[in-house]
Structure 1
Amino acid sequence: MMKTYISTIMTVLAAVLLFTSCNDYLNEKPKGKKIPATLADYEAFLRDEYDVHRMDVGQSAYLLNDLYLTNSYASYYPMYAANYNWDTSVDRVYYNNSDEITYYVAYSGINYCNLVIENAPTATEATDAERNEVVAYAKVLRTMHYFLLANYYADTYQSSSAAETLSVPLITSSEVGASYTQVTVKQIYNFMINDLKEAIPYLPDMGTTVLHPGKGAAYAMLARIYLQMMDYTDALEYANKALAINDKLIDWNEFYKANKSVIDSENSAQTSQTPLGFNCVESYNFNYGSSSSGARINNMPQWRAKMFEDGDIYFKCNWKLYTVGSETYYRGITTGTINYNGMRTVEQYLIKAECLARDNQLTEAMNVLNTVRKHTVSTDKYESLTASSVAEAIEYIRREKDNLLIYSIVPFADARRYNAEGIYTHTLSKEKDGKTVTLSPSSYMWTFPFPQGAIENAGNGSITQNVEK
């Protein structure tokens, strides 16, 4: 069970620190063991790609039908099938023993960040400025994990109820058995904002490596958080600050030209190297999806592919219709380490566009959107979009954002925000076994259940389940 895995990590880390605290008693380092002491020792924890930079959003991608669910997975994982087919007859709480990965991977990353935040300030062989910078990186990364958790296992932020609605456990200590509280939605959002604002003064514009989130990433994360809170003024401010640091976009038309023979080949199984890797020009920082290794971009159901506009060159570069046995879907044709959940410039452009639209600055909003579309729509099909209403502008912006940030937490978090607002909602609909099935904006399925293991083995705290099934 995943909880055992996390407990093992925490036990090992705690044991390492215990050796340090008992050094006077032992008077020597254990042979063959390295006790973290220098800042470089603690900074190395933040480079752990498997534990710190994985952010699994698989179930939200299944719920949205962004991610194709194979027949074999549907048969083997009842909760996957329930989310994918919007089946309200299935008790997801009961079946969540088979999908604990999102919860425990996120808290594993948080634990590593807590370890650094607690110990880097007294680490040796560093200046105060260097120590503060490493702590700041850890705070930004911790916030990213908490945003995912808060938008997975709790209701989305609504100012009218955020102070009363329970969110997720807030854990700020790396010690085994540390006490914690399941805080409210308002408290977890306040915590995230405070962490980011404390970190920003100590960060360079861009981090030491793409695994280190600098000011650009912190500003971008604040823009995402404020947008989720429906605070469009502050979201716009921080999106602009992020774009002032990096405003580059991938030109998918240029990528197509460079990889045309592979992309246009009807029967070839060849793939192109993704431009969304470690060197992606759009990245403020890099975070994986479910796996910390290179692979094809995820597969997509046929009906979901229809949500791309005609001439979308980004779609053409990344997916191709594929049939195996009785199953037909769009298979990924780019491969590599893909920045699914790091902060990227394209998100900031689209946050900016929505905030401008909300302020009824429709021309400016569409200009920003079209700046993005010039990079994602085929040059021979491109036409600038205009909007005569806020609703029309947001519909265009949402389509582009859902597509370009597919397989990240963003489309799911955005859908929950629109659902809570109740104005620009979508009801998802598809054909399943000859019948039409739907997912309404008011469905309980937009909040995932905590894993049973977390409820039953809550440690030095308690967790209240946030959804009935």
Structure 2
Amino acid sequence: MKKRYYIILPLLFALASCKKFLDEKSNRSIAIAETLADQQSLLDHYQVLNQVDGNSAEISSTDFYLTDTDFSSRLENERNMYTWQRANIFLPELNEWSNNYKAVYRANSVIENLGKIPRTTSNASQWDNVNGQAYFYRAKNILKTLFVWAPAYDVASAGSDLGVPLRTGSDFNVPSFRSTVEECYSQVLSDLRVSVRCLPPVAVHMMRPSKAAAYGMLARALLTMRRYNEAFLYADSCLRLKNELMDFNTLNAAATLPIQRFNVEVLHESFFTGVPLSNVRAKTDPQLFALYETNDLRRNVFFNDNKNGTYGFKGSYEGFTTFFAGVAVDEVLLIRAECLARLNRLPEALADLNKLLRNRYKKNTFVDRQSFDQVAITTMVLNERRKELLMRGLRWADVKRLNKEGVGISLTRTVNGKSYSLAPNSSGFVLPIPELVIEASGMPQNP
């Protein structure tokens, strides 16, 4: 039998809090993918599955801006992405698309390998856990590919709108073609439901997915689809397993990086990087910063005062200069609050919103939000969603979704005196697929 060999590279950022977990994985440089332990090693490949979530959605969003000088200093593809151009926005080979499908390939390989390993009474727990992780990673990477390269989900057109390729096997000889948006989201939901059934409630470490994380990812996907009743149910299931929030009163807001990595809110850890997004370059949108009230601790926990009237973001849940893109309790709580508001369960929506904000405002200064108006409460939740979840790669998909709700959000940037804009529901909200992918596959390009 022909054996496949996989190189397991040393994991980056081996901080003290996860040293024991990482050491076990990095001690084996080559694994023969035949045993359950081998499959777990494939899924513990941090560089493929945790640290390359992709930055195009964040660079394309407008929660930050670049000065003309910083814009001019960036690579051509980054400048094109920042101004919503339709070509040359991704490097030819090492790009977000290829990273997503590398992760999908790895997940598919594990799923196929598991088919050759009998599930027995003695190994059932481990077998299920590995299987659930593989399905989680496949779903997650298809979903984030949809966020960037497919239009917003619309029940009226999803059956004909072009989505992304659904790679469900590891055979490179199988041609890639673009499935519909409906088919893609159906695959994501199906995979995540498998992962929910298989994963343990809490993982051995946050770098691995858990049942709670899978529930949270399902809630994220269904919120994007505007299926609010189902999104509520999965968000609620997640929060029944894990719902602890950080009290920002306990953080050192003056610190360079106030929020600890692997904090109590993190359900599954992953992140992205990006030179244009670093807080020495990316300036927070002044209109966004103005949304934070004086007693809102996020003004100082999330932002670095540049002492020139501008602010840089320092509030990543990575505890580093990289940007958290995983699943966390605060996001899931806001998903549940929004769904409750849209379902007209207003006291419950306010209870979730107030729980979050009591942990974000200076002690004894926050007054619970009160209202009996559905539109007002929904608006409150959406405002807090934007203020709480910035720089996580979620705003781009949010704008696309909310514009399908008729909110009418347009995006505008000005560079060297020239204005660039995206109108609501514009085709510009669907990024062009890397040119080499189109040339190699013959797939239709986005308009």
TM-score normalised by length of structure 2: 0.83
Question: Within the alignment, does 1:191 sit opposite 2:178 as a pair?
Answer: no
Residue 378 of structure 2, aligned match among 369, 394, 397:
394
Alpha-carbon deviation of 1:323?
A: 6.2
SS of the residue corresponding to residue 151 of structure 1 reads helix
Q: Determine the C-alpha separation between the residues in 2 that align with 1:199 and 1:301.
A: 37
1:167 aligned residue: 163
1:206 aligns with 2:214: no
Percentage of matched positions with identical amino acids? 26
SS in 1 for 2:175: coil
Instruction: Indicate the residue corresponding to 2:59 in structure 1.
Output: 62
1:283 and 1:332 map into 2 onto residues whose CA distance is: 17
Change over 3 Å in CA distance of 1:412–1:39 after alignment to 2? same
Distance in 1 of aligned mates of 2:386 and 2:113: 39
Q: Partner amino acid for 1:445?
A: G
- In 2, Cα distance between equivalents of 1:123 and 1:296: 47
The 3 A distance-change label for structure 1 pair 34 and 352 is: closer
Moved more, 301-310 or 109-118: 301-310
The alignment of Structure 1 onto Structure 2 pairs a total of residues equal to 415
- Identify the range of structure 1 (58-67 vs 110-119) with the bigger mean alpha-carbon deviation: 58-67
The yes-or-no answer on 1:37 pairing with 2:19 is no
1:252 Cα offset (Å):
1.0
Matched, 1:105 2:99: yes
Q: Is the 8 A contact 2:103 2:138 kept in 1?
A: yes
Q: Which residue of 2 aligns with 1:463?
A: 443
CA contact (8 A) 1:350 1:397 kept: yes
- The answer as to whether partners of 2:31 and 2:38 remain within 8 angstroms in 1 is no
CA contact (8 A) 1:67 1:301 kept: yes
> Cα distance, 1:191 vs. partner?
0.5
CA contact (8 A) 1:137 1:203 kept: yes
Task: Give 1:136's aligned amino acid.
Answer: G
Aligned position for 1:142: 138
* 1:81 alignment partner, one of 79, 84, 89: 79
Given residue 250 of structure 1, which amino acid in structure 2 is its aligned partner? Answer: M
Q: Distance in 2 between matches of 1:383 and 1:106?
A: 43
Q: What CA deviation, in whole Å up to 9, does each residue of 1:165-218 have, x standing for no partner?
A: 110011112233333331100001110111111222222101222122111111
Question: Cα distance 1:244–1:35, how it changes in 2: closer, same or farther (>3 A)?
Answer: same
Q: Which structure features the higher share of helix residues? A: 1
Matches of 1:287 and 1:394 in 2, distance apart? 29
Name the CA distance, whole Å, in 2 between partners of 1:100 and 1:450. Answer: 13
The change in CA–CA distance for 1:178 and 1:357 in structure 2 (over 3 A counts) is: same
Match of 1:120 in 2: 114
Deviation at 1:435, TM superposition (A): 7.2
SS in 2 for 1:37: coil
The answer on whether the counterparts of 1:211 and 1:287 sit within 8 Å (CA) in structure 2 is yes
- Kept in 2: contact 1:97–1:453 (CA 8 A): no
Any idea what SS the aligned residue of 1:336 has? coil
Separation of aligned partners in 2, 1:122 and 1:387: 57
Tell me whether 1:131 sits opposite 2:127 in the alignment.
yes
2:259 aligned with 1:274: yes
Deviation at 1:388, TM superposition (A): 4.4
Question: Separation in 2 of the partners of 1:47 and 1:33?
Answer: 13
User: Is 1:251 matched up with 2:247?
Assistant: yes
1:445 lines up with 2:442 in the alignment: no
Other structure's SS at 1:122 match: coil
Larger of the two Rg values belongs to structure: 1
Tell me, what secondary structure is at the counterpart of 2:272? coil
In the aligned structure 2, how far is the partner of 1:398 from the partner of 1:428? 17
Report the 3-state secondary structure (helix = DSSP H, G, I; strand = E; otherwise coil) of the residue aligned with 2:324.
Answer: coil
Instruction: Give the TM-score of the pair, scaled to structure 1.
Output: 0.80
Q: Is the 8 A contact 2:400 2:425 kept in 1?
A: no
Partner of 2:172: 176
Q: Pick the aligned partner of 1:347 from 309, 331, 337.
A: 331
Deviation at residue 338 of structure 1 after TM alignment = 6.1
Unaligned runs of 5+ in 1: 1-12, 18-31, 264-269
Cα distance in 1, alignment partners of residues 112 and 272 from structure 2:
27
Q: CA deviation at 1:432?
A: 5.4
Matched, 1:332 2:330: no
